[in-house]
Amino acid sequence: MLKKASKARAKRAGGRRVAIVASRYNARYVNSMLRAAKAEFAKVGVTAEVVRVPGAFEIPAVASALAKRLAKPVDAILCLGIILRGETTHAEHIGQAVTGALAQIQVGHSLPVIHEVLLLENKEQARERCLDARHNRGIEAARTAIEMTRVMRRLGA
């Protein structure tokens, strides 16, 4: 059972830069999460740079490049993608590879990498998590990114 996205504190987060790496595959669902995340960032004054990639497997390569980038550094990276299980184990392998790579980037660069690359069983689960405004995971991901930028600034990182 999904919980309703909790409201983040309405404090301004101006001056913060976030990169969003979003898959074009399963575009209907990813685009909905992307719109929701961008709207949430706009509410608090966070600048969001969007980079589109073909699929979920390509997300870590771009996230890594963004983490290393010296020109226009970012305070967090939000990764959006949908992987739907099929009849083979391919989706699970992609999901595990993406998860491991994103965790390495986050720890290796002391940079929040928000993992919203969802491995789902079917389109119904994707609709519930991406198209329902009350439970849109793009909103939750953006709020997590905002909170993590605050935590990292407080730590002086």
> Rounded to 5 degrees, what angle do the CA atoms 49, 145, 52 make?
35
Collapsing DSSP to helix, strand or coil, 138 comes out as: helix
Say whether 90 is catalytic: yes
The answer to whether the beta carbons of residues 45 and 10 sit under 8 Å apart is no
Among residues 90, 109, 115, 135, the one annotated as catalytic is 90
Cα–Cα dist 7/153, whole Å: 21
Cα Dmax for the chain: 47
- The residue with tokens 């439970």 is 135
The answer to whether the beta carbons of residues 5 and 143 sit under 8 Å apart is yes
Q: Report, as residue numbers or ranges, the catalytic residues.
A: 90
